[in-house]
Every structure is written in structure tokens, then in C-alpha cells.
Amino acid sequence: MNDEMKTMARDFFGYGRWDTPYWFIGPEPAGDNHAQRAAAFKKLEHDGLCDCKEFHDEIKVDWSNKPQKTWNRLMLLLKSFLGEEWKKEFCDNGDESQSLLSYQRSRWGSGSREGNTCVIELRGLNTKGNDAYRTICAAELPVRIARINEKLKTSQEKPKLVVMYGKSEERSWRQIAEFKPLLDNPLRRDSTTFVFAYHPNARGVTGNYWLKESYWTDLGIKAREASNES
């Protein structure tokens, strides 16, 4: 494994800014274009994060005209948490009415001051089918969890919402939140509401109800109620 991949495994956390009100934490990034991703990260990163659009432009992946399934379902949760009625428009805090696709294109995981999401991963590499990547990511995982936990605690404004998705990662979510999260049962701790959800694209269980839009909008409503901001 070369140094660039080791750097990604240790330092690449995802997209956006740490000082945002809405966090989404997944198991690991998708995609196997590792060399392109490493080059983009080296060019664009700031404190382990990149601007989502700039990063994908750099690796020649265009999400400007089609919804990314994982992100789209997470945005549905956020939309619902913010109290928006179920419709095709995403009204961000009353400032601008825009479609989910427009929000994905312009503000999801944005590194600009207009961005309001931190979209990060437990692991810095896609480990699927790669034993070497799996080994190095396993070794780095405790350090990465500690860093996420530190960022969560030291943010000037504590995140209002932290969504952790991926049922198999319960142990890691427990270490980040510092309590045992319950699947599909949002819980507020201090000023932050934590949500533990299925992965938006998880398969293999009868029903797969979390693949439906209603699962994510309902979970956003539950999170809003738990936050006492409804």
C-alpha cells in the first residue's frame, strides 16, 4: 500500500465543515477510484474535509443532474427534521426554496459558509474486497473515532443533529455518542439529537423498509420531536 492510501485511511473524513449544525456519519466511502480520490484529497482537503462538489468534480464524477441515493435519503431526513412539509422542494431554514437535487448540487457537504452539513465516514477508504485496505482502516478506526468525538465536543456550536447510519457499526456509534443508541429511536443529549439508522442502501433483510422515502421522513419527524424544537 502506498503512502497516499495510508494518508486517506488516516485523514480523509469526507465533506463539508466541522462547525455545521447537521452531521451525517456513514461507515465508509463508496467508489474504487482510489488514486483519483487520493489526488483530489491532497489538493482540496482542509482539516480532513473537502467540499463535496469540488471533490467530485476533481475525480470526474458528476452528481449535478441526478440524485445520489444515499445522500437523497439522508436529505429527506434533514428536510423532515427542519419541519418542511413532504413535497419536492427543500426549504432551507426559510431562506431559499430549492429541490433536493439543487440542494445536493450546491450545499450538501459544502465547504463554504453557506454549507450546513458535515458528511463524514468512519473509515477513509472503501474496504470492500480489499484486505489491505480493510487492515489499515481497522488499525486507524480508534484514532478516527476519537477525532470525530473530539470535534463533536469542541465545536463552537454543538451540532443540532447527528445521524449515524449502518446497523453493523453500532459499537462505533456508541463510542462517538457515548451512550448506547437505539435503532430508529432518536435521543437528545444536551443540545444534540442523535439518530441511529439503517444504511440508506442496506440490503438483505426482509422488507427493506428503510429503502422507502417514508422511513426517512418519519425518522426526521421523530428526531424533530426528540429535539423539542417542533
Average pLDDT score over residue span 224-230: 83
The arithmetic mean of pLDDT across residues 103-120, rounded, is 93
pLDDT, residue 64, reads: 87
How many other C-beta atoms can be found within 10 angstroms of the C-beta atom of residue 14?
22
pTM of the shown model = 0.93
pLDDT, averaged across the chain:
90
Q: Give the model's confidence band at 230: pLDDT under 50 very low, under 70 low, under 90 confident, else very high.
A: low
- What pLDDT was estimated at residue 113? 87
Averaged pLDDT, 186-204? 90
Q: Where in 149-202 does DSSP place strands (E)?
A: 161-165, 187-189, 192-197
Residues whose CB is less than 8 angstroms from the CB of residue 141 and which lie 6 or more positions away in sequence, other chains included = 122, 123, 172
Mean pLDDT to the nearest integer, 42-69: 94
pLDDT above 90 covers a percentage of the chain that reads: 71
Q: Is 60 exposed, middle or buried (0-12, 13-18, 19+ CB in 10 A)?
A: exposed
How is the chain split into domains, by residue range?
3-226
Q: What pLDDT is recorded for position 184? A: 93
Residues 90 and 80: beta-carbon distance below 8 Å: no
Residue 90: pLDDT band (50, 70, 90) is confident
From CA 91, how far away is CA 68, in angstroms rounded?
Answer: 19
CATH topology of domain 3-226: Uracil-DNA Glycosylase, subunit E (3.40.470)
pLDDT in tens, 158-192: 899 999 999 999 999 999 999 998 999 999 999 99
- pLDDT at residue 38 greater than cutoff 90: yes
Phi-psi region of 48 (alpha: psi -120 to 50; beta: other; left: phi over 0): left
Residue 95 has pLDDT above 60, yes or no: no
pLDDT of 193 over the 70 cut: yes
